[in-house]
Structure 1
Amino acid sequence: MKTIAHIIPVILILMSVINLHSQETKGDASYRQLHDRGQFREALPIILKNLDEIYSTRVEDKRVPTEFISLKNTEQDIDLKAVFRDRKARGFFIEENSELYTLHLYAGRCYAGTKEYIRAINQFIMALRYKKIEYGKDDAIYYDLSQAFKKEGLFQAYVDSLETAYTLNTAQYRYSLELGLDLARTSEKKKALFHLERYIDQSGETIEPRLLLMAGNLHEDLGQYLNTEKYYIRYLENKPDDGPIHFALGYIAFKRTGNFALAQKSFERSLELLPQTEIFRRSKAHEYRGDMFLHNLKYEKAAANYRETIGYQEQVLKKINETETRIGELDKKISAIKTGLLKNQDYEQFEEFEYLQGEKGKLSLDLNRQKHDYAVLNGGAIRWNLARSLDKLEKYDEAINWYRETISFDYNANEARDRIIKLQLKIKRGY
Structure 2
Amino acid sequence: MRYAYPINYRVSIRYNFTIMFENYAYTVAERFLRYVQIDTQSDPLSESFPSTEKQKDLGRLLVAELQALGIVDAHLDEWGYVYATLPGNTPKKVPVICFCSHMDTSSDCSGAQVKPIVHHHYAGQDIVLPDDPAQVIRTADHPYLLQKTGDDIITASGLTLLGADDKAGVAAIMDATCFLLQHPEVKHGDIRILFTPDEEVGRGVNHLDMQKLGAQFGYTLDGGELGSLEDENFSADGAKIVIEGVSVHPGTAKGRLVSAIKIAAEVLAALPADSRSPETTEGREGFIHPVRVEGVVERAEIDFIIRDFDTPALQEHADFLRSVLNKVMTRYPTARATLQVKEQYRNMKEILDQYPQVVEYASIAMRKAMIAPVNLPIRGGTDGSRLSFMGLPCPNIFTGEMALHGKQEYVSIQDMQKAVQTIVYLAQTWEAHL
Q: TM-score range by the shorter chain?
A: under 0.3
Identify, as 1 or 2, the structure richer in helix: 1
Q: Which one has the bigger strand percentage?
A: 2
Q: Which has the higher contact order (CA 8 A, sep 6+)?
A: 2
Which protein shows a greater Rg? 1
TM-score by length of 1: 0.16
TM-score w.r.t. length of structure 2 = 0.16
